[in-house]
Structure 1
Amino acid sequence: MKRSVFILSGQSNMSGRGGVKARRWDGIIPSACQPHPSILRLSAAGAWEPAIDPLHCDIDVSKTCGIGPGMSFANYLLSKFPGSFEIGLVPCAEGGTAIAEWARGSRLYSRMLNRAKESVSAGGEIKAVIWFQGESDTLSEEATEAYRGSMERLIGDLRSDLNVPSLPFIQVAIASGDERRVEKVREAQMGMDLDHVACVDAKGLPLNADGLHLSTEAQVELGRLLADTYVVRFLLPEQQ
């Protein structure tokens, strides 16, 4: 049985700032994010190891990482299908990054692509990319207007480079950003009309005191929503 691999990518809300205050993480790991023998992560060195938060500690190295949605996603998924598979999480997110920095050929894109390929070489099968990014693109009108096209190109490029034409993407519609443009980016995310692309809305989930990053509680709930979306949109239809 191949390991079911999920690529976790985007910016800081994916790498996780739950429990982070004044650049320090409180170290609290909620029950929904606890380690499990069937959940592994691909380290920065390209080795599978037991997954434990913060998942992005050796990837988003210039920032303080805390709780993101990855562990709750994996635990909720396993709870629905106990004993059915092993999950491999591949952290790739980096805080403060705009969509233009993820274009094909960029450092971030190349690292994501290489880590995805490493996960396959190490015995995994990529099941989906989970993408949470866009807050940085609310900072300029130009980036906001270009967001949908940039995201569609990213999806097409990664599918092509991995040779998985129908690779599922689950993107998160942002919950924060520059209030002048955040709704435009959200509209682009929720209005994307591509096959095998789903969207989970983070709006309304509680934020940290900074008004930008999802709280630990919010990340746990987001993980559940992502798991439900993956099961309904992609896993169950695949099994029929």
Structure 2
Amino acid sequence: MLALSRFLVLALVFTLGLVLVSSSWAGPVKVFILCGQSNMEGKGSVKHLEQLLADPATAKPYHHLRNEKGWVERDDVFIKYNDDRGQGKLGLGYGTPSDRFGPELEFGHVVGNAFNEKVLIIKCAWGGRALAVRFRPPSSGKGDYTQRDRETKELVPLPDETYGEAYRDTIRIVKDSLVNIDKLVPDYNPNEGYELSGFVFFQGFNDIIDAKKMEEYGPNLANLVRDVRRDLNAPHLPFVIGELGQQGVEPEKRYAEKHFKFRQIQADVAQLPEFNGTVRFVKTSPFVVSNEDSFDGGYHYYGRADTFFQIGHAFGAAMVEMAQSSKKKSPSMR
């Protein structure tokens, strides 16, 4: 009889444990979209990350990324990268090239720790894409840019289909992912569904290097926020604008005016009255380390793992704040 009682107690404890585990992930899947060009693709060096972990003086912030079995893959955060760059549990392996990582890594840990629900990150990123051209939102209309004809070497108008190509691909990938979310999130419960919880846009290099593209960046960025919300049927979707901070807090003197102007354009869009409380400008320049080892020449935040880690953390922290406050509005749930 005593043995039976002990068995019943153990069975009850085990059952309660299952209930607690399952309930900890109850509710709609939180879906976050990370979008941009090469910095969002991810250029953080895994080699540098290994160096940071090997040094007791720098290892502490990164301990959660690796355990005795190797690099950690989360059981509650999942990712899909473009059409063909991979999908699965969040961990390393979702940068470009494959020995790199982007903001998605620490972003996923921040939001995964903040919410009880499972998380899906949909990452849409391609290098060399300007907001004025390939990311151009529909509300901005067709642009009037040119390219050099390969045969005649003369300047000719860009083909109409070039405008908005990356924007359309982003919307398509997001919608396709949501239609097939049961293939991306294990044990997906259609009765609980999903919730579009945030969009991060980290882009700008191909616009800052062209005066004309830079001049129209503000209106294009504001239209991007509006159009993404409209096309995803998420009118209050929290939106993070990642600062183009490649040059750091104090850019080179010859580039400083241009960089400060561009950053102000990005910040001003976040301050538009219509975006009050739902769009956040997040600085990345404070995380630039320019006087130590570089892992990508002078490009992409020097390819430093510590920089991309901190950028991802900052994006995640801002998104958590907005996503939590947006519950008072009308979240987009399916």
**2:146 — aligned with what?**
none
**2:47 — aligned with what?**
26
**2:207 — aligned with what?**
137
* Match status 1:11 vs 2:37: yes
CA offset at residue 152 of structure 1? 0.9
Identify the match of residue 106 of structure 1 among 164, 182, 185.
164
Change (3 A) 1:137 1:169: same
CA offset at residue 138 of structure 1? 1.2
Tell me the secondary structure at the aligned position of residue 105 of structure 2. helix
**Structure 2 length-normalised TM:** 0.62
Q: Is the 8 A contact 1:144 1:181 kept in 2?
A: no
CA offset at residue 179 of structure 1? 4.2
**1:51 — aligned with what?**
90
Identity of aligned residues (%): 22
Unaligned runs of 5+ in 1: 20-24, 58-62
**1:202 — aligned with what?**
284
CA RMSD of aligned residues (A): 2.5
Q: Deviations over 1:127-161 (max 9, x none)?
A: 11111101221102111111111111111111111
Q: Is the 8 A contact 2:236 2:326 kept in 1?
A: no
Structure 1 residues 13-162: aligned runs within 5 Å: 13-19=39-45, 26=47, 28=49, 30-33=62-65, 34-43=72-81, 44=83, 49-57=88-96, 66-81=100-115, 84-100=116-132, 101-103=134-136, 104=138, 106-123=164-181, 124-162=194-232
**1:187 — aligned with what?**
264
Deviates more, 1:209-218 or 1:160-169: 209-218
CA offset at residue 118 of structure 1? 2.0
CA offset at residue 239 of structure 1? 6.1
Q: Is the 8 A contact 2:43 2:95 kept in 1?
A: no
CA offset at residue 65 of structure 1? 6.4
Structure 1 residues 153-172: aligned runs within 5 Å: 153-172=223-242
**1:174 — aligned with what?**
244
Unaligned runs of 5+ in 2: 1-26, 51-61, 66-71, 139-162, 182-193, 248-254, 330-334
Deviates more, 1:129-138 or 1:113-122: 113-122
CA offset at residue 94 of structure 1? 1.0
CA offset at residue 120 of structure 1? 2.3
The one-letter amino acid of 1:40's match is: F
Separation in 2, partners of 1:235, 1:55: 27
Tell me the matched-pair count. 228
Separation in 2, partners of 1:135, 1:90: 22
Separation in 1, partners of 2:289, 2:40: 14
**Structure 1 length-normalised TM:** 0.84
CA offset at residue 207 of structure 1? 4.6
Q: Is the 8 A contact 2:246 2:288 kept in 1?
A: no
The one-letter amino acid of 1:157's match is: D
